[in-house]
Structure 1
């Protein structure tokens, strides 16, 4: 009986850990900091001054990650079609946060190009109202081989996009490329 209780407890902990780990919490905090720095979204913002401000916000983000007790934090994902790449190992996660989007439609592409870890992806948005909403989710299956998943997101103008990826394998890695356009 005690073994059964322990096994049920372990199973519940595992389910709770997986549910909590694959969310946008880490990116949500960064999005809130962005809105604090940026102020209200204005649809008539000029692109070049905006990009200058985004560079300043990126410097603040890097400072927060380095001085906030965490050396690994959310990364900036610009909506410019340029690939970011990396590797997620053994049940860790990686989070990307965009600046507020100028585009109503954003195409987000994640490519698994190496490794064999099962990896969950959750995509959320946050508007200036501070409300974070999950808009998409997907799980890259366990196994070798390249896999590309494209998400077509609509209604993104003036919203921050948060992408959280969690490696659900203990010993396998997930090498990826991610881009937003």
Structure 2
């Protein structure tokens, strides 16, 4: 009897975890915090004050969440900031959050360069008004073949973008590089 209850609870947790990976829930809190730190979005803001505000948000973000490989929780993804790299193991997830986009389009590139875990990706936009939208979803297959996937996002000016990745494998890893342009 106890064994069946435990198995039922574990199964429920796994289902809840998998459902969450394909939604925009992971980045919502950090997007909200980013908006709180960033302040009011002005579409005609000039690039220099914008980058200054982004740097302040990034410093606050790094203080809160950090960008170390051992950090639990979302990571900051700077637009045009180069590659972030990492590894996701055993049914864990990784979430990245950008500052508000200065442009109407953005390209997110995820390069799976090692590992064989099937890994789900969901990309979402978060507006200052609290509206969250799923923009793209994708599933990296369970194989050792490297794969470079480019997601072209449109209509993202003034939106915070989150990228959540969930390793769906129990024992396999997913090694990646991610960047935003």
CA RMSD for the aligned pairs? 2.3
The two structures have a TM-score, normalised by structure 1, of 0.88
Within 5 A, what are the aligned runs for 1:61-72?
61-65=61-65, 71-72=71-72
Q: Which consecutive residues of structure 2, in runs of 5 or more, have no partner in the other structure?
A: none
Report what 1:37 is aligned to.
Answer: 37
Using the TM superposition, give the Cα deviation of residue 17 of structure 1 relative to its aligned residue in structure 2, in angstroms: 2.4
Q: 1:35 to 1:2 in 2, by over 3 A?
A: closer
Report what 1:146 is aligned to.
Answer: 146
Using the TM superposition, give the Cα deviation of residue 15 of structure 1 relative to its aligned residue in structure 2, in angstroms: 2.3
Q: Which consecutive residues of structure 1, in runs of 5 or more, have no partner in the other structure?
A: none
Report what 2:77 is aligned to.
Answer: 77
The two structures have a TM-score, normalised by structure 2, of 0.88
Moved over 6 A (4+): 1-9
Aligned length: 178
Using the TM superposition, give the Cα deviation of residue 26 of structure 1 relative to its aligned residue in structure 2, in angstroms: 3.1
Q: Cα deviations across residues 128-181 of structure 1 (Å, max 9, x unaligned)? A: 101111111111010101111111110011111000001111111101011111
Q: 1:92 to 1:9 in 2, by over 3 A?
A: closer
